[in-house]
Amino acid sequence: MTVTRFAPSPTGLLHLGHAFSALTAYCAAREAGGRFLLRIEDIDPVRCKPVFAQALFDDLRWLGLSWEEPVRFQSAHGADYAAALERLREMGLLYPCFCTRREIGALAAPQENDEAGPVYPGTCRDLSAQARETLARTRPHVWRLDMARACARAGALFWHDAAKGEVRADPARFGDVVLARKDVPTSYHLSVTVDDALQGVTCVTRGEDLFAATDIHRLLQALLGLPTPRYRHHALLRDATGRRFAKRDKALTLRSLREAGKTPRDVRAMAGFGDLSL
C-alpha cells in the first residue's frame, strides 16, 4: 500500500508552496488508494512554536485535507532518535565535534549547494580519548557521522526517484554531517529517516531542494537496516519573479489568502490543483 506524508516544521504560517507540497502528497496517496500522514517536524525548540502547529492544522483542514490520527510530533519521540544514535555509536561511526561555526567556516571547503553549508574538514575526527574528555569539560559539542567509515561499511547505494529513475547515492560529498546537537539531540537527516521507517512511509514526496539530501538518508537507512521508500521530488512553486515561496512571503500565506476572500477551491487552483474535488 502506498503511504505518503506531509511533514512541515511549525516555524511560521503555511504558504502557497506548502499547499502545493501537501496536495502533491495527498493526491499521490489518494490516486493509489493509499494512506496520507501528517507529521510535525518540531525538533528545533527555539524556532518551532505550538501556535504555528495549530495554525497549520487549521489551514490544512480549511484547504480540504484530512489525515490519520494521531499526528506524530518529532519532539515527543526523542527516544527513537537516541536509539538510532546509539546504534551508530556502537558501530564506531560517530564522534564528538567541538568546533565552532566560525572555526568551521574558516577551514572548510564550500559546498556545491550553498544551502548545505561548508563541508566539515574533519578537525575533531582523530582526537584522542583524552583530548575529547578535556574539551568536553569546557566546550559544547555535536555528534558527527564519520562519513568515510560509514560509506565503506554501506558500500554502493542507490535510490529511486519518480522523475529521474535510479540514482546512485553520493553522500561522501557532504562530509561528516551532524546527526545530533547538545540543544537538539537529533538532526533533520536522522529524524526524518527514522520517522519515515517507523511510520511505514513508502513514497516520500517533497521539494526538489531536498533531492541531494536523499543521499544522506539512503546511507542512514543502510546503516540502520531501515527500508528504502520511493521518492518523488517535485518542482518548487515560485512567484511571478521566479523566486520560490518562503515563510517570509506574508501576502501568500494560506491565512492571508483566506482573509482576502479566497475559497479553498481558489487556493487549490492557485497551487495547480484546480480539478481536485475534496
Given strand 72-73, what is the order of strands in its sheet? 3-6, 35-40, 72-73
Given strand 142-145, what is the order of strands in its sheet? 94-97, 142-145, 178-180
Environment class of residue 161 by beta-carbon count within 10 Å: exposed (0-12), middle (13-18) or buried (19+)?
Answer: middle
Q: Which residue has the cell 518548487?
A: 236
**pLDDT for position 104:** 84
Dihedral over Cα of 109, 111, 114, 116: its sign: negative
**pLDDT for position 26:** 98
Q: Which of 49, 164, 182, 247 is catalytic?
A: 247
Report DSSP letters for 163-176, one per residue: TTEEEE--GGGG-S
**What cell was used for 261?**
476572500
Distance of CA 228 to the CA centre of its chain: 15
Determine the Cα angle at 269 with ends 267 and 270, to 5°: 65
Annotation says 247 is catalytic: yes
**pLDDT for position 171:** 98
pLDDT in tens, 173-217: 999 999 999 889 999 999 999 999 999 999 999 999 999 999 999
Look up the pTM and report it: 0.93
